[in-house]
Amino acid sequence: MTKTPDLIDTLVDCATPVRRLRPPALRAALWLLFAALVLALLAVVHGVRPDLALRLEQPVFVIGMAGALATGILAAIASFKVSLPDGSRWWLLLPLPGLALWVSTISYGCLTDWVSMGPNGGRMGEAARCFATLLLTSAPLSIAMLVMLRHAALLRPTAVCAAGGLAVAAITSFALSLFHSLDATIMILIWNLGTALLIAGLASLFGQSMLARFAAWLMPVAFRTHGRA
Amino acid sequence: MPGRGQNRPIPLTLVGGSQPHDPRRTDGARDWSRLMLRAQDGDRQAYRTLLEDVTPYLRAVAARCFKQAGDIEDAVQDILLTVHMVRHAYDPSRPFGPWLLAIANRRIIDRLRRETRQKAREIELAPDHETFAEPATNRDEVISDAASLHEAIERLPPDQRQAIKMLKLNEMSLMEAAAASGRSISALKVATHRAVKSLRKILRPKSERT
């Protein structure tokens, strides 16, 4: 076993200058900027849904979109705040108002619009394109989040993954509503809540080990020694 | 009151210490925040001072949760490694103590969780469970010592054997032994002395006999 003074010698020997982390709000803003870039690229390639102008006149749709976007923004800020060692756990409550708004509009839509699922409600072609959008949005955003929050692997992996997963899920859901005509309630329900649950579930199941993997890959040898300690 | 304190000398606050690697606060304690700030900029001496300074504090924190000295030291090393890896995440405008304590608590909780998981799954191998292929290694030490002593006594010359049995094993006095054996006290003393010497020679481990 290494003695503590020897360990201190080793740590001092590899104490190279480090670049301090920028404030969490700024880092969250950078991540959101990246998300906006991904969405813009998708809009250029895929084009927004044809009836967007029409839908934007409907308050429930607008509130739902705003709720998803707010959840994404607030959850991103929360995950960056919580990733700091001395960041308060209360930050995890930050996305709750947005989440409540988002989930309530989906539920409201379900109640009032339940019968609107027509014969074309469950088209497979649209579902496949939805899935492509889902992957194209959530994969780069998740990777960016894992890289940016790798230092949290040793501190609060579960809480950070949960908040990060929620942010990715909300932004993805926002993208889906923006790009796909999901008129049938059941489709909205599946794609919005289903995606959110899927991403949040994956984040809590694999987030911790993925975070550790990214940390081991991007951080120096010390992590390997540490991981086996 | 206007004009009050105008003549009072303005108290001076020393901002930069004369010792570059040993910044101290007004209460005389070392300023960990400034040491960490310097460590982030690559000042190794400041980093060493900081790590050596926080180690006893971390040991005290770890001692609240672990009993074994080894466990405490492991936890301290774990925390120091984590501090090293996330040192870029420290914001010098915030106090260092709570930052360090938050990391320490996280690492200690993680270790306790891992320990609980291991205890639920694994059985510790006690020394009693140890056994080896060689039968001699599994013999009870006390019994085997007594057996080899008796064996050695049997190998002594008859007069020495008689003397040692009477005086040491049966715990007779010299007078009683002299009366029982019909030998003089001095003869018994000499025989006992020689017997002990012979026994020492017989019982000495093989490696030491040369």
Would you give the distance in Å from CA B8 to the centre of its chain?
58
Give me the interface pTM, i.e. the ipTM: 0.72
CB-nearest partner of A229 from B42, B77, B98: B77
Rounded Cα distance between A97 and A73, Å, is 12
Other C-beta atoms closer than 10 Å to the C-beta of A114 total 12
CB contact under 8 A, B88 and A19: yes
> Which pLDDT score is estimated for A115?
47
- Mark the ranges of chain B whose per-residue pLDDT is less than 50: 1-7, 9-19
pTM, two decimals, is 0.65
Q: Decide if pLDDT at A99 tops 50.
A: yes
Structural domains of chain B, ranges and CATH numbers in brackets: 32-121 (1.10.1740.10), 140-201 (1.10.10.10)
Q: Decide if pLDDT at A75 tops 90.
A: yes
The torsion angles phi and psi of B24, rounded to 5 degrees, stand at -120, 155
Q: Report yes or no: A31 and A76 within 8 Å, Cβ to Cβ.
A: yes
**Helix then strand then coil, % of chain A, to nearest 5:** 80, 0, 20
- Identify which of A39, A135, A22 has the alpha carbon closest to the alpha carbon of residue B91: A22
> Which pLDDT score is estimated for B101?
92
Mean pLDDT of all residues belonging to chain A: 77
- Mean pLDDT is highest, among A48-52, A211-215, B109-113, for B109-113
Mean pLDDT of A57-79: 89
A15 versus A203: the higher-pLDDT residue is: A15
* Burial letters B157-176, b for 16+ CB under 10 A, else e: eebbbbbbebbeeeebebee
Q: Is B53 on the interface with A (CB under 8 A)?
A: no
Q: Decide if pLDDT at A103 tops 90.
A: no
* Residue A70 binned pLDDT confidence (cut-offs 50, 70, 90): very high
* Residue A221 binned pLDDT confidence (cut-offs 50, 70, 90): very low
CB contact under 8 A, A226 and B90: no
* Residue A34 binned pLDDT confidence (cut-offs 50, 70, 90): very high
> Chain B: nearest CA to A92, how far in angstroms?
17
Rounded Cα distance between B118 and B5, Å, is 67
Cα pseudo-dihedral B35, B105, B75, B45, rounded to 10? 0
Rounded Cα distance between B104 and A154, Å, is 11
> Which pLDDT score is estimated for A49?
79
Q: Decide if pLDDT at A191 tops 90.
A: no
- Identify which of A30, A102, A229 has the alpha carbon closest to the alpha carbon of residue B84: A229
- Residues 6+ away with beta carbon under 8 Å from B172: B166, B180
> Which pLDDT score is estimated for B191?
92
Show the tokens assigned to A56: 């934007």
Chain B residues closer than 8 Å to A16 by CB = 42
Rounded Cα distance between A43 and A188, Å, is 19
Q: What is the pLDDT of residues A139-183, one digit of tens each?
A: 888 888 888 887 777 778 778 888 888 888 888 888 888 887 665
Rounded Cα distance between A33 and A29, Å, is 6
Q: What is the pLDDT of residues A107-119, one digit of tens each?
A: 665 555 554 445 5
CB contact under 8 A, B73 and A225: no
Q: Is B114 on the interface with A (CB under 8 A)?
A: no
